[in-house]
Each structure stands twice: as C-alpha cells, then as structure tokens.
C-alpha cells in the first residue's frame, strides 16, 4: 500500500512539472510605435501612432530565424529560442528610417516585453 502511495505522489509531481514546462513560452511580445507623426508635436496631443501590419524579421547568427506581423494596434508576439537576435522591419522605408532597438536578447523560459519604435524622419 505504501509503495502505491509513493508512486502516485511521484507521478503527480512529474505531471505538475511537465504541465509547468508546457505552459512556459520563450520569446518576445510588445508594441511597435512610429513617430513623430507630425512635423510639430504639441503637449497633450499624441505624436506617435501604432505601427500596424509591420513585419518584424528576427535574425540569429546571420540567418533569418522567424518573423511576425503587428496587429492593427501595433502589438506583436513571437516564440523564439534563447539567444541574441538582430531585428528589422520589412518596408520600414515607407514607415520611417530605422527600427529601435535593432538587437534583442531572448531569455530561456521567459516571454520578455520589448517595445520597438520606428523613426518616421518627420522633422
């Protein structure tokens, strides 16, 4: 009887560990904004806007590893393996000059929040 109880306890602990690992994603999420949106920014008036439908390309060790497209609200979410990635926005020339930050670190077992900005070049 005692052997069965130990087996059930061990099995339940193993199942809990497996469930915890299955629910832990590794990657990034956040929002991409573009700005300034007008030549003159005024206090109390937004001077940036969500960068909707922008494709973000994540490269690792010189090769494209994954890509995702922002929502109409500029949000994104992507699952990536741990490591350092270079990031670029496709067709950024239509939206602006550069994506910042241009490099990000993905940490094992964590969904990190990283927000990006695209400089529109409007001055």
Q: pTM for this structure?
A: 0.75
Give residue 13's pLDDT. Answer: 39
Domain boundaries, the chain: 25-119
Give residue 92's pLDDT. Answer: 53
CA 84, CA 50: separation in Å to the nearest integer?
Answer: 25
User: Model confidence over 13-56: pLDDT tens digits?
Assistant: 333 333 334 467 999 999 999 988 888 888 888 889 999 999 99
* CATH code 2.60.40.1120 for 25-119: yes
User: Model confidence over 69-121: pLDDT tens digits?
Assistant: 999 999 999 999 999 999 999 865 566 668 999 999 999 999 999 999 998 88
- Burial letters 30-59, b for 16+ CB under 10 A, else e: bbbbbbbeeeeeeeeeeebebbeebebbbb
Give residue 47's pLDDT. Answer: 86
């Amino acid at each position: 009887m005692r052997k069965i109880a130990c087996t059930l306890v061990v099995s339940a602990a193993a199942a809990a560990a497996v469930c915890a690992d299955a629910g832990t994603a590794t990657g990034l999420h956040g929002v991409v904004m573009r700005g300034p949106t007008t030549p003159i920014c005024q206090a109390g008036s937004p001077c940036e806007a969500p960068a909707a439908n922008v494709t973000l390309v994540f490269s690792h060790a010189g090769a494209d590893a994954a890509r995702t497209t922002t929502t109409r609200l500029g949000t994104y979410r992507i699952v990536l393996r741990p490591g350092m990635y270079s990031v670029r926005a496709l067709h950024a020339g239509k939206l602006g000059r550069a994506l910042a930050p241009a490099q990000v670190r993905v940490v094992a077992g964590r969904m990190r929040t990283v927000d990006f900005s695209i400089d529109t070049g409007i001055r």
